Structure 1
Amino acid sequence: MKPPAASATVATRILGIDPGLRHTGFGVIDTLGSQLRYVASGVIKSGEGSLPERLKVILDGVREVIATYRPDQVAVEIVFVNVNPQSTLLLGQARGAAICGAVSHDLPVAEYTALQVKQAVVGHGKAAKAQVCHMVERLLALDASPSSDAADALACAICHAHGSSGVAAMVGVGTRKRGSRLSR
C-alpha cells in the first residue's frame, strides 16, 4: 500500500515592511495558491531620542514581529529619493535596521518600489494612499481599515505574494522602474 501523496500546496507566510524612522509598518499574510489571508498588522513606533536608539527600536521591533509570527519570507519597500537628501538618508537607515532584523533570522528579503507595490495591489503605479488602503481591505477581507503604515506594509506583502504574475513576473523580484523602462 502506498502512503497518501503530500499536498502540493503549502501556505507561505509573508511579512511586509514599510520602513519609517518614526513609524515602521508591518503586515503579515498567509498565501495558499492565489488565496490571501490576513494574519496581523501594526506599527513599530520608535518615538523620540537619538538616531541609534530609534534604529535599535526598529531592529528589536522587527525581530519581535518575526519571533511572534514566524514568517517564511520578508518583503520591504525600497526607499524613494526625497527632495531633502537628509530625510532620504534617515529613511534609508531605518530601512537598513528593518532588513537587518529580517536577515538576522536568516529570512530571504525581497525589495519592491512603491510603484511596483501600487501596480500589484491597485493596478496602476500612481494610485493614492487611500486607494491602496481600500484595495488592501478588499483583498484581505478586513472588517476595518488598518493604519496607513500598516496598510502600506500589507500592500508590500501582497505585492510579494503576487510575484508570480503581473509586473513582478515580467521583470523579476527586486527590480526597479526607471523612467518608462523596466530594468533589473
Structure 2
Amino acid sequence: MKINSTTIPLPIDNIDTDQIIPAKFLKQVDKKGYGKHLFRNWRYSEGDSQEPDFILNKPERKEATILLAGNNFGCGSSREHAAWALADFGIRAIISTQFADIFKGNAYNNGIVPIELEKEQVNVLIRGSLQNPNLKIEIDLENQKVLSPALGIKETFDIHPFKKQCLVEGVNETEFLINLRPEIQEFESKRIQLP
C-alpha cells in the first residue's frame, strides 16, 4: 500500500481531540459526516463562514490526504470521533513526532497510518510543504518508508506488524478476526474431535 499525496502542514503541538472535533458535534454513532466538523473552531468563524487563512480551507490543500502535525497529536480525551472526523475528511496518514496512545490506536482502527519521525525530519517536511503546496510525499507502508526526493527525505518508520497487516488489508482488528472465522471454525471442529 502506498499513499502519494500533497500534504496539510499543521505545525501546532498538543492538538487535542476537542480541537480535532469539538464535543458539541458528537451526537451520532455513525462514522460518516464528521469530516465537515474537523477542526471546526479553527476552520469556521462563529457565523459558519470559512476562515480563509486556515490551512484546511486553502484550495491547494483540498486534495491532500497526509497531515503533517506538531508533537503530541491527538492528546486529551479518548474520543474515537477524532479519528472518524480525520478519516471522513480524507486523511489517510498523519506524520508527527509523537501521538497520544489512545488516539494512535483509534487512528489504526479507522484506516489512518500514524507515523512517528524525528523532529528534524518532521520539520523539514512541514517547511517544504509550507513553501510548496504542490509538494508530494510518498508513504510506502509495506516497506515502512516516508519519501520526498525533492526534500531529500527517505525515512524509515516503525509499525507493529499486526497493525501494518490490518492497514494493508483495509480492515480493523475486529474485521480481521471475522475474516478468520473459517479457520477458527475448522480449528474448533478438529479440537472437538480430539479425545
Bucket of the pairwise TM-score, normalised by the shorter protein:
0.3 to 0.5
Select the structure of larger CA radius of gyration.
2
- Choose between structure 1 and 2: higher strand proportion: 1
Taking structure 2 as the reference length, the TM-score comes to: 0.33
Taking structure 1 as the reference length, the TM-score comes to: 0.34
